[in-house]
Chains A and B, each alone.
Chain A
Amino acid sequence: MGLHVIKMPDIGEGIAEVELVAWHVKPGDMVIEDQILADVMTDKATVEIPSPVVGKVAALGGEIGQVMAVGSELIRIEVEGVGNVKASPAAATPVAAATHTAAIQAEAVLAAAARQAAESAVRERPAAASAQPAPAAVAQAAPREKPIASPAVRRRAWDLGIELQFVPGSGTAGRITHEDLDAFAARRPGLGTGAARYAERHEEEAVPVIGLRRKIAQKMQEAKRRIPHFTYVEEIDVTEVEALRAQLNAKFGAERGRITLLPLLARAIVLAVRDVPQVNARYDDEQGVLTRYGAVHIGIATQTDAGLMVPVLRHAEARDLWASAAEIARLAAAARSGKAAREELSGSTITITSLGALGGIVSTPVINHPEVAIVGVNRMVERPMMRAGAVVPRLMMNLSSSFDHRVVDGAVGAEFVQALRGLLECPATLFVE
């Protein structure tokens, strides 16, 4: 029988002491591997200490509530075979175990250690013969002689995870060269030159939420906290409107500038809100006033390096396609370069959010408080659709729109989106006042 002492482990929170909060065993109990012995607590967490061995609890190292130093004795367990208390210096790490299989393993470990010791003794003998058996010489006997390699070679070997003592050296006096290292690395599968193995990464980066990011965070929190959102998604056949856009760009692109889908959508919104004025509004929930606007000031959610910004296309109802396109482009550029004026970033009455190619199939846009509606544009994709009994390729796109359910009923939101759909699927109507 041997004694296995378990010490209070370093639980990696940089503290030297932990509080013992519970014992799950008492002296005399039999324990098995991985059985929980005790709970210890730091100011951050409670950690369970499992048993690494099988055996009988001989003694407990502390009382509940006691603050114990990391490294102090936690518990003594009687195990079969040798424990870790009287272990030789060569086997100071707790390798001893008690099950029959583990005992065999332990024996194997010990045998290996003994063999190693014997080998090193044999190696050292010719050298040590002339010298007195000084304690220093004995201490140095365990590691093999250091391989000869330049600092650069040693560094590369560490990076490659190669132990230099296994690398045959071709230089004078067995010196290991860069070429020797390359040759050795090439022979090892899965270890190309310069390729490091996968490593755990533990870095953390605390990014202060300040400036625009804080504003965004507050605004999003405010919107989601105050507004009961509902999101309505509809599929739009944009084949016709895209054909029109291509035609307009082919014909007028050179002189008037190319237009994207956004000015067409802006135009559709301008027309749709005439039928559904409830969505082009701002709701002051503290005063209990919903203000509807004749003007359509469309916020265009824009991704910038600093974060999300919403420049405003003012009086969209008074701009034609090209004027809208030019203004949207100017606003986006101003927002991205940080030159947008304050009034260009406020006062919208309804907002469009579009991620372009990143649009996905559905999104749940957050309303730009205190507005009551936001129209999200999803990705445009060609799909097989049934038209008049035949499968035909059509260009399809989803609109994901969110509404403030306090002031916009489901039916009203749906009516608005259906109006948009009607306008976009029959683009000629976009130009009828």
Chain B
Amino acid sequence: MTDAAMEISGLNRNDRFTRGSRLVDALSKTGLLLAILAVVAYGSFASPAFFTTGNLLNVLTSMSIVGIVVVGMTFVLVVGGLADLSVPATIACGAILSLGLQPLIGPVPAFVLAVALAGLIGLLNGVLVGYVGINPIIATLGVGTIGLGIVQAAVGGVIVYGSNTASAEFAKGRLLGIPVVVLIFLVIALIGHFVLSRSFWGRWTLATGGNYNAAEASAVPVKAVKAGAFVITALASGVSGGLLGLTLQSARPLIGSGYEFSAITAVVVGGVSIIGGFGSVPRAIAGLIFVQLLTNVMVLQGVRTPIQGFVLGILIVGAVGMDAALRKRGVV
């Protein structure tokens, strides 16, 4: 009976969309792959430097550092936590501490401690967002600024250099011809994908993002799940920062600036919903590959930096707009 009323007012479009949306549905799944292929095709056609092992390995390596953050950021968006803006601070924390503590406790404990302290920043984010209920943008911005301040004060605002050559060799090295950083990224991406799509924690994350109240009324520990997404992102950023420090062998407090934007761009372009409840790690990584390749082609073509920013901005707005439109039509 209620359906009848919705029909009168033209609200009940579900049926039409489940029938007519196959094309849209297929496009939303394969659109990004097609876009990546298009960029590769254009790149190899337009620039002789593009389709070379050296260039592609470069893209892959720089992509891996952001990619580790992207895996974490996917959880934040899916759980309905909007975005984590403390990423620059957690990356700096990971980079500075993993280099700065080397002379004191050795390279491996330094790395582990750096990641753990980054995780602590994430825990603070998580408590503020999940338990206290502060808007994530404000909470992570505040915590990030505080964290960055502490790290800056701790090292006296100067650049920290690496002192352990063995760890530097490892981070810059290759295994079976593949850079170690890329391998670490792949492992983290696989773990992230497994947790989000196959584990109870991932299902809880999707449910909390999909309908917070219903998840709570289904005995899902929603506050912990929400907080957990920020801890996951901070741990990932800590690892990413540590690797960045080891490869560069130097770290300054602003080493991580811009990574939050790159990560959010990748996740959103990958079609992960900014409202939460929908998304996967492979989608986010597809978004990352697309954005990174596009940037690389623009660099090779000599496109100036402001124009590059312009293009990436349009991509974000377009992706979010598309998400909103698809959601309204009930496709995703």
**Interaction A to B:** no
**Which B residues contact A (CB, under 8 angstroms)?**
none
**Which A residues contact B (CB, under 8 angstroms)?**
none
